[in-house]
Structure 1
Amino acid sequence: MSKIGRLLCVRLASRIGLVVGILFGILLLVEFLDTWRFGLTADVAGPWVATWLAVLSAVRWSLLALPVTTTIGAIVGLIDLHSHREMVIISATGRSIWSTLKWPLAMVILSGVVVVTIADSVAIRIYQQLDAAEIGWGRAYSLGDRAVWYNQSGDDGRYVIYARTALGGGAELREVSIFRLLDSGARGARIHAESATLQDEAWLLRSGTILDVDQPARPFDSYLIATDATLSELGLQVGTAEDMSWFDLRELLQHGVTDPFAKAAAETRFQKLNALPALLSGSLLIAFAFTSGYRRAGHYGWTIIAGIGLGLLVFMITEMADRAGSAGVLSPIIAAWAPALTAIIIGLSVILRKEDGRV
């Protein structure tokens, strides 16, 4: 890496890091100011767990807002370079904007890969160890009823499981009721049990009763009912796709997901993580497009507003596409990659227009 490339990377990385740090501090303050949720979590899991969940919540929201903070931080860094006439000197050496962009772009792409594979995965792993989804700290960040419904199928046919409480990522259920899904007019059994535990391709029910319409109730100590579900798929239904790392999602999708809504959410989240380096690249290109040009008077007000506004617009489009993809309305690949490609095209178009004029 050349000295110019090192200067640009250090300056931009420091300013982007500063913006991310400020946003993290604001989010952390908001989490601690919500004393009702913090107190309720402390009552359920203890004060230290509540503190960790608040910190991790701020971390994950900061990661979610990376496209915007990258744009703002890069704009701040480029203005700083202009204010010290460093960008003028770089241009005077005969370097084109593309040569100047090379190393910062590589830095942003590498940072995106690190965020997806390490930072986000570590935060989610800690979330899982703290049983965040079971306490109620998923993407929605709300405490509520922990009852769950599972649509299941296996060698014993199709059925629905209702449980008052789900533990262990959805593999341990309490106060369970099972309803078989039969053809119209068919008669089947209903099962109630104190607990159900997921084993190899089966649910193990304990201390329950089998109820048939034409037979007396039959109590049992243990009972097996076959299922095709996996622990990862159950965890996805208990929490959200946002509570799963890139590695968990890849493994889950390789084994297959039977629930179409859970599958759409998992595929959209997986493709969104894959597209993050490209989305951050588009954010950096937008910052360069609206800030890298020389200003004799040094006035960047409207340019900064336009760049930040465009960055926020890309973020909003990304989140709307994420909702559409998770709901199965839009293809997960389109929902994840279209905003990233749009940001890249906008940034490249503006840079080409400023550098080469009309074609």
Structure 2
Amino acid sequence: MITGTLSRYFGWRFLSAVLAVFAGTLVLTAMIDFLEMLRRSADVKDVSALLVAQITLSRVPFITERVMPFAVLVGAMFCYLNLSRRLELVVARASGISAWQFMAPALAIAALLGIALTTVYNPISANLREFSTRLEADLSRPDSGFRGTGRGFWLRQRSEDGQAVINAKSSAPSDRESFLLKTSLTPVQVGESFATPETVPFWQLSSYIDHAENAGLAAAGYRLQYYQLLAQPFYLAAMVLLAASVSLRFFRFGGVQKIVLGGIGAGFALYILSKVTGDLSKAGLMGPLAAAGLPPAIGAITGLMALLYQEDG
């Protein structure tokens, strides 16, 4: 039976490896995005490096949120490979601790990370992404603009009379059935500028689905995003199982390169599957709940089957 001290040790080794991979990805993403934003804003007048840095820092959380599953996958592989290389897993097995027992802390931490990612990190990254979108619009599209969020809408347009900015939480005319506003925007431009599902905070997705349906827009993408965020803890736990299924073989069979490539390949295949099921859901060929739940379910079953074969024959 694994002790509390040993459980905390394995859990800390896993968490530190995941955070190290995530921090490295964060820094690398920020550097690349900053250079790209500098290149894109080179032709825009009166743009300071400070403004570009502000846009980059607002975009990075949104980008890195997408790579968190791979950070868990790579971090788990590095964690178990290092434990195997230092023969710590050999000693743990010799003392009667099974692979399932020293994997339990990593699974619990991955699930907690998924909950935090959905309930805390996602709202922050979505709000920062919306803020960066407004800053980018000021740079790249100064002549027209329309933005929608779960809190209302804002519109900016330039006409012969000058520039106008309209911000409204809702439309509720009391003395007339409708209110006509002269604008150069077309229905296509308005639809394209409606916030994408990835930029809506988790806590506002339910109300935003209602707003999209009331506006006559398709809500399948928002429903899919909602269920995918709910499935995030299970998705990260599935990544731990996939990582363990390839990395726990190291101290017996060797082949670090094949292990790393195998783990990354499995994670990439799961990512492709999530994209395919997501596209099927948006096209109305698959329910959003099934599309969001199928990739983590297949990943978990694959990892469990491989571990059962390796550990229990």
Q: TM-score range by the shorter chain?
A: 0.7 to 0.9
> How many percent of aligned residue pairs carry the same amino acid?
21
Once the two structures are superposed, the pairs formed by residues 97-246 of structure 1 within 5 Å of their partners are 97-128=99-130, 130=131, 132-136=132-136, 145=141, 164-166=144-146, 169=149, 171-174=153-156, 198=168, 201-202=171-172, 224=179, 238-246=194-202
SS at match of 2:96: coil
Distance in 1, matches of 2:23 and 2:44, equals 25
Deviates further, 26-35 or 319-328: 319-328
Contact 1:289 1:350 in 2 (8 A): yes
Distance in 2, matches of 1:355 and 1:326, equals 40
1:50 aligns with 2:52: yes
Taking structure 1 as reference, are residues 321 and 50 closer, same or farther at Cα in structure 2, changes over 3 Å only? farther
1:295 to 251, 265, 286: 251
- Taking structure 1 as the reference length, the TM-score comes to 0.71
Flag the structure with higher helix content: 2
1:322 aligns with 2:278: yes
The aligned length equals 293
Q: Structure 2 unaligned segments of length 5 or more: list them.
A: 159-163, 181-189
The structural deviation recorded for 1:117 is 0.8
The structural deviation recorded for 1:67 is 1.4
The structural deviation recorded for 1:20 is 1.2
Distance in 1, matches of 2:34 and 2:45, equals 12
Distance in 2, matches of 1:288 and 1:120, equals 27
Distance in 1, matches of 2:221 and 2:146, equals 20
Which residue does the alignment assign to 2:261?
Answer: 305
Distance in 2, matches of 1:28 and 1:196, equals 33
Contact 2:55 2:136 in 1 (8 A): no
Which residue does the alignment assign to 1:11?
Answer: 13
Contact 1:249 1:266 in 2 (8 A): yes
Contact 1:287 1:307 in 2 (8 A): yes
- Taking structure 2 as the reference length, the TM-score comes to 0.80
Distance in 2, matches of 1:295 and 1:283, equals 21
Taking structure 1 as reference, are residues 298 and 258 closer, same or farther at Cα in structure 2, changes over 3 Å only? same
Flag the structure with higher strand content: 1
Which residue does the alignment assign to 2:63?
Answer: 61
Contact 2:55 2:135 in 1 (8 A): no
The structural deviation recorded for 1:40 is 6.6
Larger relative CO (CA 8 A, sep 6+): 1 or 2? 2
Query: Based on CA coordinates, which of the two structures has the bigger radius of gyration?
Result: 1
1:36 to 35, 39, 43: 39
The structural deviation recorded for 1:94 is 0.9
Taking structure 1 as reference, are residues 280 and 297 closer, same or farther at Cα in structure 2, changes over 3 Å only? closer
Distance in 2, matches of 1:286 and 1:195, equals 50
What are the Cα deviations for residues 159-188 of structure 1, in whole angstroms up to 9, with x where unaligned? xxxxx4325756233559xxxxxxxxxxxx
Q: Structure 1 unaligned segments of length 5 or more: list them.
A: 148-163, 177-193, 205-222, 226-233
Which residue does the alignment assign to 1:340?
Answer: 296
The structural deviation recorded for 1:84 is 0.9
One-letter amino acid of the structure 1 residue matched with residue 288 of structure 2: P
One-letter amino acid of the structure 1 residue matched with residue 80 of structure 2: L
One-letter amino acid of the structure 2 residue matched with residue 317 of structure 1: L
What are the Cα deviations for residues 24-80 of structure 1, in whole angstroms up to 9, with x where unaligned? 222112112212335578857x65443122123222222101112211111011111
One-letter amino acid of the structure 2 residue matched with residue 116 of structure 1: T
Which residue does the alignment assign to 1:231?
Answer: none
